[in-house]
Amino acid sequence: MNEYVLNHPLITHKLAILRDENTSTKKFREVVTEIAALLCYEATRDARLEEVEIETPIAKMKTGKVREDNYAVIPILRAGLGMVHGIINVMPNAKVGHIGLYRDEDSYLPVEYYYKVPENIEDKVAMIVDPMLATGGSVLATIDKLKKDGVEHIKFLCIVAAPEGIEVIESHHPDVQIYCAVVDKGLNANKYITPGLGDAGDRIFGTK
Ligand code: PRP
Ligand code: URA
């Protein structure tokens, strides 16, 4: 199992805000940003440190710094954009690439409309971000695309995951690590996560 679920009272608290249909767009965006930062904190626990020598006001010392530019954050448009600020607040020098996908309303299959990733993506750790993992179709298409570009180290950060989506990633790409805030019950007849939080993109951008 390559999945890590944030298990913390503060996360439950923040999810209660996101799940509440009466939460405003502004508040929704703020909380998505906060949870994204906490997911990033967990997802970089294995980051390698480069030795550096610095001088404190008191003494010289050797310590470590993360090569943030070895990371590429890849939001799946649109909803993934809502997580980018939380991540670059924590890792300001991470590169950002974009993949545009939407889920066709009838087939539920992802349709690609945009793809632009940083140079030398094959040498970076790609952190795909999207608040929702439902059928797994969108993230699967993203992973396939990145692997085709030679990316070897891929992590996926999401807020609400359905067991069906986790299963799809783990069976096709067991090497990809999944970090999520919560795993919900499953998908409803319209392939929405239940209880979930609704349409993440619409709630982040106030489009409905
Ligand atoms: C949502 C969500 C994911 C996808 C998840 O995007 O943000 O990208 O659906 O579903 P899946 O796991 O079944 O592929 P949507 O297609 O609604 O587009 P949007 O972000 O533009 O709203
Ligand atoms: N996309 C969303 O935004 N929400 C879901 O529950 C499923 C897909």
pLDDT, tens digit (0-9, with 9 covering 90-100), for 141-154: 999 999 999 999 99
Residue 208 pLDDT exceeds 90: no
What integer pLDDT is reported at residue 26 of this predicted model?
Answer: 98
Supply φ then ψ for residue 54, to 5 degrees.
-130, 170
* C-alpha of residue 187 to centroid of ligand 1, in Å: 13
Distance CA 163, CA 122 (A): 29
For 29, the token pair is 């965006």
Ligand 2 atom closest to the Cα of residue 131 is 3
CATH number for position 133: 3.40.50.2020
In the structure, what pLDDT confidence band is assigned to residue 165 with cuts at 50, 70 and 90?
very high
Query: Which CA distances in Å does 107 have to 104, 133, 150, 187?
Result: 6, 16, 29, 15
- Do 12 and 180 touch, CB atoms closer than 8 A? no
For residues 135-141, give the mean pLDDT: 96
In the structure, what pLDDT confidence band is assigned to residue 164 with cuts at 50, 70 and 90?
very high
Q: Tell me the ligand closest to 185's alpha carbon.
A: 2
Question: What is the total count of domains within the chain?
Answer: 1
Residue 1 pLDDT exceeds 80: no
Mean of the per-residue pLDDT values of the chain: 97
In the structure, what pLDDT confidence band is assigned to residue 75 with cuts at 50, 70 and 90?
very high
- The reply to whether ligand 1 has any atom less than 6 angstroms from the CB of 196 is no
Q: Which amino acid residue places its CA nearest to atom 3 of ligand 2? A: 199
What integer pLDDT is reported at residue 104 of this predicted model?
Answer: 87
In the structure, what pLDDT confidence band is assigned to residue 102 with cuts at 50, 70 and 90?
confident
Distance CA 40, CA 175 (A): 18
Distance CA 18, CA 32 (A): 8
In the structure, what pLDDT confidence band is assigned to residue 139 with cuts at 50, 70 and 90?
very high
Supply φ then ψ for residue 141, to 5 degrees.
-65, -35
Task: Indicate whether this model's pTM tops 0.75.
Answer: yes
What integer pLDDT is reported at residue 105 of this predicted model?
Answer: 86
Element (H, E) at 113: strand 110-116
Distance CA 80, CA 132 (A): 9
Query: Which CA distances in Å does 85 have to 48, 150, 168, 171?
Result: 22, 26, 28, 30
Greatest CA separation found in the chain? 65
Containing structural domain, residue 197? 3-205
For residues 198-204, give the mean pLDDT: 98
